[in-house]
Amino acid sequence: MSTTPLTSNEHGQRLLAEHSSKEMLRFITCGSVDDGKSTLIGRLLMEAGAIYDDQIAALQQDSEKHGTTGGEIDTALLLDGLEDERQQGITIDVAYRYFTTAKRKFIIADTPGHEQFTRNMVTGASTANLALILVDASKGLLTQTKRHAFIASLLGIKHAVLVVNKMDLVDYEQSTFEHICQAFRNFAAKLELPDVRFVPISALKGDNVVQPSSNMLWHEGGSLLHMLEHVYIGGDENLRDLRFPVQWVNRPNADFRGFSGTVASGCLRVGEEVTVLPSRKTTTVERIVAMGSDLSEASASKSVTVTLKDEIDVTRGDMLVRRDNQPYVRREADAMLVWMSEQPLASGKQYWIKHTSHRTSGEVGDVLYSMDVNTLHRLPATTLQLNEVGRCRLSFHDPLMFDPYRRNRHTGSFIMVDRISNETVAAGMFLDPEMDVEEEHWETEPSRRLQRVESRVAMQQRSAKYGHAPFTVLITGLSGAGKTAIATKLEQQLFDSDHKCVVLDGQAMRFGISRDLGFSAVERSENLRRAAEISKMLNDSGLVCIAAFVAPHADVRDRMRDVVGHDRMVHVHLTTSIETCRQRDTSGRYVAADEGKIADFPGVTSPYEQPDQADLMIDTEDNSVDAAVDQIINLLETRS
């Protein structure tokens, strides 16, 4: 069977179509100084075939002049393009590079490692899907490593890969790699990084960068490039909330009046009803035009011109949304600011606020706190200096239409500009106005006027009276893992053996003492804080407490142990997979979370941090309720 060969034009069009259909992954490289970021990216580009022969020849010459690799090609010079960078052997500016493989297209931002260039790292991270956080295997985690991990989390990057570089300096030892990974897990548990992966490499030698390394056969996770090609980012884009900021009114002639802009999130369709903010007038989408042709719909990141059925007032800075799904429209808001100017923040000073296509003036009323990025503790502050991060309360001359940054990176971010010098002084991320319970109740000190009442009954007397010592069993896991069933069965078994016990159930508490709380990360934290205090009171009274909570955040679980007492609390975690939990769900919550109707649902629309050091791990797929309770009883007996 003969086939007609393709012409060069047809062949080019086919290649262009295949290239255009590939998914784009944007990622940044970050970490401390001299962790090998530029060397890694240079190696990745070279071995992925993204460097031409003449570039390699020029690189060889530059390596002899500037390189530090003893005559071998110094791949760092591909990215350290500034003369100052080559002389110092460091990265100063953000270098962007593009390459493609058979599976994906990539845009890399090589960001500086020095603390004074943290603002440059923020620039590179603002549009990234993934962060490569490099660590020198011979040095372990450093301050700047933690700083960059925190900023990646702050800027809403959902995927992080801890790249343990220079494994050749530690003889490719698996124990060194595992030790660094565990240290990072402990730190990342306090951050909002839902997807964290780990890979050992030697960028200088090329081990595990593009091809798996024979020096690290113990690593089964594949090469770094394999990980980049297969990480799933399809769920990262906000497809639920229609947000179309108007950039300009398109009026080429008297017969056409359209509104041009880029769909920030969601999907815009012809014939659907939309609301214009801030006027709140409602109309219908009549046409969607792009590149001279009409479209039936336009999804996120598509630049289009929209015509409306009704002649209503729409101008630059307005936003088209759905009537039943709208952002906040406010003149005041709380936001996290990354300060990027040599001049410190001045409360009360007027700055330009640039948000989507809208510009207005605004000022910082109060600096609520700054963040210590090493400990993640909040520090009292009245201003922010260069590269500092803090929570501030802002007010605006005109109302802004915004979403919380965690929900929508496009409508949740803004920049502040000095009105005199035109310098960009800060990058900001809006917080949810309805989560003002974010004040840290765990660390709030009680009034000094309060006095504790000492009981006249000693703990030894209670234990002798009840026949057992008091303790708390915290049972955690995803919704549907079986926490409540196991807790009530454990209560029955302990009661039958003459233990005085009480069950605290996370959902049951919301019918009473926690009925004022929602389901955000902060409010879940507060619910568990209240449970911790109740558990301590029950234990102080000589009783056994069985607490069943989702408790998705590791630091909150640790805080509960601090409140109750390390010698009193046993943590039992149910490791049941999310697939099994979905199958067991009869409430419809998982389906609703998948459809975007429930925000902050652990395991689906918000992260669940699996514990590394629970006292007992039980998989309820392989263990019945009775078997799980027997395991808990056995653990309690071994601990007397």
Give me the mean pLDDT over the 301-322 stretch: 94
DSSP state letters, 172-191: T-HHHHHHHHHHHHHHHTTS
pTM: 0.64
Q: What average pLDDT is seen over the chain?
A: 85
| Cβ within 8 Å of residue 501, ≥6 positions away | 491, 494, 495, 543, 544, 545, 546
192 contacts 405 by C-beta, under 8 angstroms: no
Count other Cβ atoms within 10 Å, centred on residue 390. 23
pLDDT tens string 463-509: 899 889 999 999 999 999 999 999 999 999 999 999 999 999 988 89
Cα 401–chain centre separation: 23
| Sheet-wide strand order for 544-549 | 501-505, 544-549, 472-476, 569-574, 616-618
Q: Reply yes or no on whether the pLDDT at 207 is more than 50.
A: yes
Task: Tell me where in the chain the CATH 3.40.50.300 domain(s) lie.
Answer: 16-230, 465-638
Q: How far apart are CA 385 and CA 197, in angstroms?
A: 33
- pLDDT tens per residue, range 20-53: 678 889 998 887 777 787 788 888 887 877 665 5
Query: What one-character DSSP code corresponds to residue 212?
Result: -
Judged by DSSP in three states, 523 sits in helix
Question: Residue 616 pairs with which residues in a beta bridge?
Answer: 572
Mean pLDDT of 286-303: 92
Q: Spell 238-262 as b/e; 16+ CB within 10 A means b.
A: bebbbbbbbbeebeeeeeeebbbbb
CATH 2.40.30.10 fits 244-321, yes or no: yes
Range scoring the smallest mean pLDDT among 158-162, 271-275, 418-422, 519-523: 519-523
- Per CATH, domain 16-230 is 3.40.50.300: yes
Range(s) within the chain of domains with CATH label 2.40.30.10: 244-321, 330-433
Q: Kindly report the CATH number that applies to the domain delimited by 330-433.
A: 2.40.30.10
Superfamily of domain 465-638: P-loop containing nucleotide triphosphate hydrolases (3.40.50.300)
Structure confidence by residue, pLDDT tens digits, 341-398 = 999 999 999 999 999 999 999 999 989 888 887 667 778 889 999 888 999 999 999 9
Q: 81 in helix, strand or coil?
A: coil
User: Residues 6 or more apart from 583 whose CB is under 8 A from it?
Assistant: none
**C-alpha separations of 72 from 48, 80, 138, 609 in Å:** 18, 17, 22, 43
**What's the average model confidence in pLDDT over 592-603?**
77
What is d(CA 309, CA 258) in angstroms, rounded to the nearest whole number? Answer: 11
Please report how the helices 174-188 and 143-154 are oriented relative to each other, as an axis angle in degrees rounded to 10. 50
Out of 19-23, 273-277, 299-303, 389-393, least confident range: 19-23
Distance CA 24, CA 103 (A): 10
Q: Report CA torsion sign: 331, 332, 333, 335.
A: positive
Average pLDDT over residues 508-530: 84
Which pLDDT score is estimated for 482? 93
Half-sphere exposure for 449 (CA within 13 Å, toward CB): 0
Question: What does each C-alpha distance from 521 to 185, 212, 512 come to in angstroms?
Answer: 19, 38, 19
Q: Is residue 55 predicted with pLDDT exceeding 90? A: no
Per residue in 454-465, pLDDT (tens digit) is 888 888 888 899
Please report the pLDDT score of residue 192 as a whole number.
81
Residue 111 pLDDT class (50, 70, 90 cuts):
confident
Residue range 109-127: average pLDDT?
Answer: 68
What is the Cα Rg of the chain in Å?
Answer: 28
